Amino acid sequence: MALADTIPKRVMVLDTTLRDGEQSPGIALSSDDKVRIAQALDDLGVDVIEAGFPAASPGEQEAVHRVASTVSHARVCGLARCNKKDIDALLDCGLDYVHTFIATSDIHLKYKLKMDREEVKAKAIDSIEYAKAHGLTVEFSCEDATRTDLAFLKEMHLAVQGAGVDKINVPDTVGTISPPAMEYLIKELMTVTKVPIAVHCHDDFGLAVANSIAAVRQGARQVHVTVNGLGERAGNAALEETVLSLMAFYGIETSIDTRKIGPTSKLVSRLTGYPIPANKAIIGNNAFAHESGIHVHGVLGDPSTYEAFGPELVGVKRNIVIGKHTGTHSVKEKLNEYGVDITDDQVVQVVDKVKKLADSGKDVDDAELVALAYHIIGQQEAKNVRLKEFAVFTGINTTPTAVVSVEVNGKKKTGTSIGIGPVDAAINAIKVVMGNDISLEEYRLSAITGGSDSLCEVTVRVARNGGKKMMSIGKAVGSDIVNTSVDATMEALDRLYCHKKEL
Ligand code: KIV
Ligand code: ZN
pLDDT digits (tens, 9 = 90+) for 170-199: 999 999 999 999 999 999 999 999 999 999
Give the separation between CA 406 and CA 387, rounded to whole angstroms.
5
Which of the ligands is closest to the CA of residue 98? 1
Could you give the C-alpha distances from 67 to 37, 59, 213, 270, in angstroms and in order?
9, 12, 29, 19
- What is the predicted pLDDT for the residue at 468? 56
Q: In the predicted model, is pLDDT for residue 382 greater than 80? A: no
| Residue 381 binned pLDDT confidence (cut-offs 50, 70, 90) | low
Q: In the predicted model, is pLDDT for residue 232 greater than 70? A: yes
- What is the predicted pLDDT for the residue at 501? 43
Mean pLDDT is lowest, of 26-40, 269-283, 315-329, 374-388, for 374-388
Q: In the predicted model, is pLDDT for residue 49 greater than 60? A: yes
pLDDT > 70: percent of the chain: 96
What's the mean pLDDT in 263-288? 97
- What is the predicted pLDDT for the residue at 287? 98
- What is the predicted pLDDT for the residue at 499? 58
| Residue 360 binned pLDDT confidence (cut-offs 50, 70, 90) | confident
What's the mean pLDDT in 143-163? 98
- The closest residue, in CA terms, to atom 5 on ligand 1 is 143
Q: What value, to the nearest 5°, has the Cα angle with vertex 166 and ends 39 and 245?
A: 55
Q: In the predicted model, is pLDDT for residue 147 greater than 50? A: yes
Give the separation between CA 103 and CA 111, rounded to whole angstroms.
11
- The closest residue, in CA terms, to atom 8 on ligand 1 is 20
13: part of which helix (H) or strand (E)?
strand 12-15
Give the separation between CA 374 and CA 389, rounded to whole angstroms.
27
| Cα 171 to ligand 1 centroid, rounded to whole Å | 6
Which of the ligands is closest to the CA of residue 170? 1
Q: In the predicted model, is pLDDT for residue 138 greater than 70? A: yes
**Please, what's the b/e burial string for 218-246 (b: 16 or more CB within 10 A of its CB; e: otherwise)?**
bbbbbbbbbbbbbbbeebbbbbbbbbbbb
What's the mean pLDDT in 210-233? 98
Q: Is 439 helix (H, G, I), strand (E, B) or coil?
A: strand
CB within 6 Å of ligand 1 — which residues?
A: 20, 79, 101, 141, 143, 171, 173, 200, 202
- What is the predicted pLDDT for the residue at 51? 98
Q: In the predicted model, is pLDDT for residue 465 greater than 80? A: no
State the pTM of this model.
0.86
Ligand 1 mutation target, pool 15, 16, 20, most atoms within 8 A of CB: 20
For 71-127, list the strands marked E by DSSP: 75-81, 97-103
Q: What value, to the nearest 5°, has the Cα angle with vertex 323 and ends 317 and 325?
A: 100
- The closest residue, in CA terms, to atom 2 on ligand 1 is 173
Atom of ligand 1 nearest to the CA of 23: 8
- What is the predicted pLDDT for the residue at 466? 56
Give the separation between CA 466 and CA 456, rounded to whole angstroms.
32
pLDDT > 90: percent of the chain: 78
Counted residue by residue, the chain has a size of: 503
Q: What are phi and psi of 403, to 5 degrees?
A: -125, 130
Each residue of 79-112: pLDDT tens digit?
A: 999 999 999 999 999 999 999 999 999 999 999 9
Ligand 1 mutation target, pool 113, 143, 204, 232, most atoms within 8 A of CB: 143
| Cα 118 to ligand 1 centroid, rounded to whole Å | 21
- What is the predicted pLDDT for the residue at 479? 86
Largest CA distance in the chain: 86
DSSP output for 270-330 = HHHT-PPPTT-TTTSTTTTEE-SHHHHHHHHH-GGGT-SS-GGGGT---EEPPSTT--HHH
Closest CA to 8 of 186, 179, 153: 186
Closest CA to 169 of 320, 300, 53, 14: 14
- What is the predicted pLDDT for the residue at 272? 97
What's the mean pLDDT in 412-420? 94
- The closest residue, in CA terms, to atom 3 on ligand 1 is 173
- What is the predicted pLDDT for the residue at 374? 86
CB 490 within 8 A of CB 460: no
CB 402 within 8 A of CB 386: no
